[in-house]
Amino acid sequence: MANQIATFFASQPEKEQVEGVARHINAYWEPRMRRQLFDIVRAGGGGLHALVLSAAASIDDPDRERPGKSAAGGH
């Protein structure tokens, strides 16, 4: 599904492609889906569209602790 999103955004102006992929995935994918995507990225990204790989840095990784939040609930 990530590759289909990337294929759509590949038809957009270049400056909007990577941002569009990341924005769409962040807005519509639940954490479980994003976690599966990052499993593929961490395994080398085989089979993923280049735009998906480029967008990965801007996609919210549910397993990455966000700045200012601790594992104990942000305290």
* Domain contains 14: yes
Do the domain assignments include residue 73? no
Q: Which domain holds residue 54?
A: 2-58
Per-residue DSSP letters for 10-69? TTS-HHHHHHHHHHHHHHH--HHHHHHHHHHHHTT-TT--HHHHHHGGGS--TTSPPTT-
- Size (the chain), residues: 75
Residue 21 forms part of a structural domain: yes
- CA–CA distance, 74 with 1 (Å, rounded to integer): 32
Judge whether 75 lies within some domain.
no
User: How many domains, the chain?
Assistant: 1
In a domain, 52, yes or no: yes
Q: How far apart are CA 32 and CA 25, in angstroms?
A: 12
Whether 37 and 45 have beta carbons less than 8 Å apart is answered as no
Written as tens digits, the pLDDT of the chain (75 aa) is 999 999 999 999 999 999 999 999 999 999 999 999 999 999 999 999 999 999 999 999 999 866 555 444 444
Q: Is 74 inside a domain boundary? A: no
